[in-house]
Amino acid sequence: MSRILLIGSGGRESAIAYKLRQSPKLSSLHVFPGNGGFPESELLPAGAFDLKKKSSVQEFVKRNGYDLVVVGPEDPLVDGICDWLSEIGVPTFGPSAYCAQVEGSKEFAKSLMKQAKVPTAKYESFSDHTKALDYVRKEGVPIVIKADGLAAGKGVTVCFHLSDAEVALKEIFLDKKFGESGSKVVIEEFMAGQEASVFAISDGTDYFTLPAAQDHKRAFDGDLGPNTGGMGAYCPAPIVTEKVLEKVKRSIFDPMFEIFRRQGHPYKGLLYAGLMIDSQGEPKVVEFNCRFGDPETQCVLPMLEGDLVEIFTASAKGRLSETQASVGKGASTVVVLAAKGYPESYAKNIPLELPQTDSKDVVVFHAGTSKKDGNLISTGGRILGISARGSDLKDSVSKAYAYLSKLNVPDTFYRKDIAGKAL
Ligand code: AMP
Ligand code: GLY
């Protein structure tokens, strides 16, 4: 039996908790900081410990005798929380700080891919505005410009005209739009194709993949509007056929896990490959993340029929070969309900009244919610994820939207075309 501490507060952590609770091996679950969808009994008090401080995290975890810590978001992973907990002998689901650089630094990820011969866009990095401009003029468009460091996905401009690239470089170098991360840019070859997200869970030696998902990053229908954290997702993504998945394993995951091992830092936890798949079915890496994707997790995990407590524990302890991770039939879709204005400034404290779901296939995952005097209110831009499993994609999409049509929350919006391209 396991006492588990889950770190995080988003829709992703709500989906992880939902799956952990299904395990007969779970004796108790605590979450920090959590959100308004978690029962009071699972929520730790605000300020229970300081996530940024090694001694505070170690002391709290030791005192509470957790058997396993599960880390949702990237920041604590990049800070080294798994190393801190490994020092005190507490199994933790997630990669070390060294391995988490695969998300924390584009330069690290790119150089590792080069060494491991993993297919990705050709790139150069520059810390000089004029040299960057010369390079763009020499290479021509389309071309992709990325502010290095953690610009939260907002530092990427796909340029179809030379003038777009000139503006992007000016904003980064002269206007310092991304602050310090603007002191360096990565300029990448443009990759054409369709995007998909594939998650692999590893214990340092063995790994398995979960069904591929497709995210919808733009705010509005028809892939219009600004980039967001993700407005909805579905899985399995038909673009990732068995043949494509085999290529993803052989040309991407195998060499990545191998190079981490060779460097003396076996990768444990989840490795997220953001892929571009061209018209020939050849996958290339757009980016790696060192954690589950959000909102992809809210549609991927409901498909999993294995025991998540067992899987996370096996990953942390190097025993993945002893576990089973079967995946259910059918498909799954999640649609995000966002606050009006998101991803720019948005309404907050919207009162939420949520109708009951009338099917066990439909789950409402909370993200930016909180309880105030016993009442549920919105606190974030992405408020809820309505997730539905179905016999096929069409069925899952219609179940998710059937629930949304019963919802009557002012000052919110959601995309009406999630999974539309695959139907
Ligand atoms: P990133 O923050 O690196 O994930 O990039 C954000 C988005 O920009 C990706 O999801 C893609 O849609 C797009 N993108 C990034 N790099 C490239 C590339 N080299 N070619 C085409 N599109 C890209
Ligand atoms: N859905 C994109 C991400 O989690 O990074």
CA dist list (Å): 45 to 30, 39, 42, 52, 76: 10, 12, 10, 16, 19
The answer on pLDDT for 414 being more than 90 is yes
Residue 405 neighbours by CB under 8 Å, 6+ apart:
none
Q: How far apart are CA 233 and CA 214, in angstroms?
A: 5
Residue 106 lies in a domain: no
The answer on pLDDT for 184 being more than 90 is no
Q: What is the pLDDT of residue 182?
A: 54
Of 183 and 316, more confident? 316
Residue of the CA atom closest to atom 5 of ligand 2:
293
- Mean pLDDT, to the nearest integer, of 112-135? 95
Residue 103 lies in a domain: no
Same domain, 248 and 322: yes
Residue of the CA atom closest to atom 9 of ligand 1:
286
Q: What is the pLDDT of residue 153?
A: 55
Q: What is the CATH number of the domain that holds 178?
A: 3.30.1490.20
- Mean pLDDT, to the nearest integer, of 134-154? 83
Same domain, 361 and 299: no
Q: For 187-238, how does the pLDDT look when each residue is reduced to its tens digit (9 = 90+)?
A: 999 999 999 999 999 999 999 999 999 999 999 999 999 889 999 999 999 9
CA dist list (Å): 303 to 19, 32, 157, 361, 410: 10, 25, 34, 10, 31
Same domain, 249 and 355: no
- Mean pLDDT, to the nearest integer, of 233-244? 97
Q: For 366-406, how does the pLDDT look when each residue is reduced to its tens digit (9 = 90+)?
A: 999 999 999 999 999 999 999 999 999 999 999 999 999 99
Cβ atoms of 72 and 12 within 8 Å: the answer is yes
Mutational pocket test of ligand 2: of 294, 382, 418, the residue with most ligand atoms within 8 Å of the beta carbon: 294
Of 327, 346, 378, the one marking the end of a domain is: 327
Residue 116 lies in a domain: no
CA dist list (Å): 105 to 115, 128, 252, 409: 16, 19, 18, 39
Q: What is the pLDDT of residue 149?
A: 64
Q: What is the pLDDT of residue 96?
A: 98
Q: How far apart are CA 94 and CA 85, in angstroms?
A: 11
Q: For 38-96, how does the pLDDT look when each residue is reduced to its tens digit (9 = 90+)?
A: 999 999 999 999 999 999 999 999 999 999 999 999 999 999 999 999 999 999 999 99
Residue 105 lies in a domain: no
Residue 68 lies in a domain: yes
Please tell me the distance between residue 244's alpha carbon and the centre of ligand 1 in angstroms. Answer: 20
Residue 401 lies in a domain: yes
Residue 88 lies in a domain: yes
Of 275, 310, 327, the one marking the end of a domain is: 327
- Mean pLDDT, to the nearest integer, of 172-186? 78
Please tell me the distance between residue 272's alpha carbon and the centre of ligand 1 in angstroms. Answer: 14
Q: What is the CATH number of the domain that holds 60?
A: 3.40.50.20
Q: How far apart are CA 309 and CA 275, in angstroms?
A: 28
Same domain, 139 and 167: yes
Same domain, 320 and 199: yes
Q: How far apart are CA 66 and CA 27, in angstroms?
A: 10
Q: How far apart are CA 375 and CA 223, in angstroms?
A: 34
Same domain, 142 and 63: no
| Mean pLDDT, the chain, whole residue set | 95
Same domain, 321 and 201: yes
Q: Which of 104-108, 119-123, 269-273, 298-302 has the lowest mean pLDDT?
A: 104-108
Please tell me the distance between residue 188's alpha carbon and the centre of ligand 1 in angstroms. Answer: 9
Q: What is the CATH number of the domain that holds 211?
A: 3.30.470.20
Domain count, the chain: 4
Q: For 266-302, how does the pLDDT look when each residue is reduced to its tens digit (9 = 90+)?
A: 999 999 999 999 999 999 999 999 999 999 999 999 9
The model's pTM: 0.95
Residue 328, classed as helix, strand or coil, is coil
Q: Which long-range contacts (CB under 8 A, 24 or more apart) does 303-308 make?
A: 303/210, 303/211, 303/235, 303/236, 303/327, 303/328, 303/330, 303/331, 303/332, 303/389, 304/19, 304/210, 304/328, 307/22, 307/23, 307/24, 307/25, 308/16, 308/19, 308/20, 308/22, 308/23
* Per-state percent for the chain, helix, strand, coil, to nearest 5: 35, 30, 40
Same domain, 316 and 199: yes
Please tell me the distance between residue 10's alpha carbon and the centre of ligand 2 in angstroms. Answer: 12
Atom of ligand 2 nearest to the CA of 12: 4
**What is the DSSP annotation of 128-145?**
-HHHHHHHHHHH-SSEEE
Domain of 84, in residue numbers = 2-96
Residue 109 lies in a domain: no
Q: What is the pLDDT of residue 391?
A: 98
Q: For 161-171, how does the pLDDT look when each residue is reduced to its tens digit (9 = 90+)?
A: 999 999 999 98
Q: What is the CATH number of the domain that holds 370?
A: 3.90.600.10
Strands 382-390 and 331-339, sheet pairing: antiparallel
Same domain, 293 and 371: no
215 alpha carbon, closest ligand: 2
Of 296, 327, 358, the one marking the end of a domain is: 327
Q: How far apart are CA 365 and CA 301, in angstroms?
A: 12
Q: What is the pLDDT of residue 305?
A: 92
Same domain, 338 and 320: no
Same domain, 69 and 92: yes
Going 280 to 282 to 284 to 289, the CA torsion angle's sign is positive
Q: What is the pLDDT of residue 156?
A: 85
Q: Ligand 1 pocket: which residues have CB below 6 Å?
A: 121, 144, 146, 153, 156, 158, 188, 190-191, 195, 217, 274, 286-287
Q: For 360-370, how does the pLDDT look when each residue is reduced to its tens digit (9 = 90+)?
A: 999 999 999 99
Same domain, 225 and 135: no
Tell how many helices (H) and how many strands (E) occur in the chain: 13, 22
Q: How far apart are CA 140 and CA 398, in angstroms?
A: 44
